[in-house]
Amino acid sequence: MFRELGQMLLLFGETVKALPLAWRQRRKVAEQLFEIGNASLFMACTLSLFIGGVLALQAGPLLTQRGLGSLLGGLVGESLTKELGPVMMAILLAGRIGSAMAAELGSMRVYQEIDALRTLNIDPIRFLVLPRVLALAVSLPCLVIFAILVGSAGGALVAHFNHDVGVPASTFFNNLRSTLELRDLLHGLLKTFLFAVMIGVVCCNQGLQTLGGPRGIGRSVTKAVVNSIVFILVLDYVVTRLLLPLARYHG
């Protein structure tokens, strides 16, 4: 456990050190961005639509019964922006993209592709890890903004058409606009960025540490996804706690 943590920190340090060479890897970053978008956009859309819908479905009747239905838009928007959007999209990317990264790097390790890079004096961290981490760091925040928009639409749809909620879409969006502030979005995006870097480092590290053939690759993929989800939830608490003094309603 502590050994893995150490390896991840080392890999993170090496990746940061390779950052000045990021421009040279722009083609690979673009390829990764395309793959991430291709693999996750539809899933992100479906997931966030239903998350927004279920939030409105759960909270809507309670608020309406107490005459607070007009506050539903703000509640759904805040939840999506600061918590559910970043966390759910990070988990989605860990499962869909992180696992693929761990499998690909694991396979490259097992089939001596990474050794071949080293013999050609090419740093595998610069060549393989940096483009993946950068692509995740760019794509996950974009995906979260997209998820917030789609999730809000899902919430508005349920609020408008569900008889137990009965909040017009215009009221929903008016409240969402007046409640949500730029700092809420920045709060969510900061978390998202940290999640993205963490997923990239955890999954690439698992891939690079793969040993023992196809079974080893399978083990690495499982560990990459499980560790990423655990780290996402731990990091979520830590970052939320650290950002709490900045929240406008704190204290």
Partner 1 sequence: MTPPPPADPGVAVQVRGLRKSFGSQTILDGIDLDIRPGEIFFLMGPSGAGKSVFLRHLIGLEVADSGEIQLNGTSIGDESLRDRFRLAMVFQSGGLLNSLTVAENVGLYLAEHRLKPPAEIARIVREKLALVNLTEQDALKYPTELSGGMKKRVAIARALVVEPQLVLFDEPTSELDPLMALTVGREIVHTNRMSGATTIVVSHDRDLAFGIATRIAFLEGGRIIAVGTPDQIRGSQEPLIRRFLAADFSPE
Q: Which residues bind partner 1 (CB under 8 A)?
A: 104, 107-108, 111-113, 115-122, 127
In contact, 20 and 40? CB cutoff 8 Å = no
Q: Least distance in Å: CB of 211 to partner 1? A: 11
Separation in Å, CA 109 to CA 8, 125, 204, 215: 17, 13, 11, 13
What is the helix (H) or strand (E) element at residue 129, kind and residue range? Answer: none
Count Cβ atoms below 10 Å from residue 244 Cβ, excluding itself.
11
Whichever of 52 and 131 has its CB closer to partner 1, that residue is 131
Structure tokens belonging to residue 3? 């050994």
Please provide residue 233's backbone torsions phi and psi, each rounded to the nearest 5 degrees: -70, -40
Whichever of 22 and 142 has its CB closer to partner 1, that residue is 22
Q: Least distance in Å: CB of 241 to partner 1? A: 41
Whichever of 16 and 116 has its CB closer to partner 1, that residue is 116
Taking Cα atoms as reference points, which of 135, 132, 117 lies closest to residue 206? 132
Q: Least distance in Å: CB of 132 to partner 1? A: 12
Q: Least distance in Å: CB of 118 to partner 1? A: 6
Whichever of 29 and 156 has its CB closer to partner 1, that residue is 29
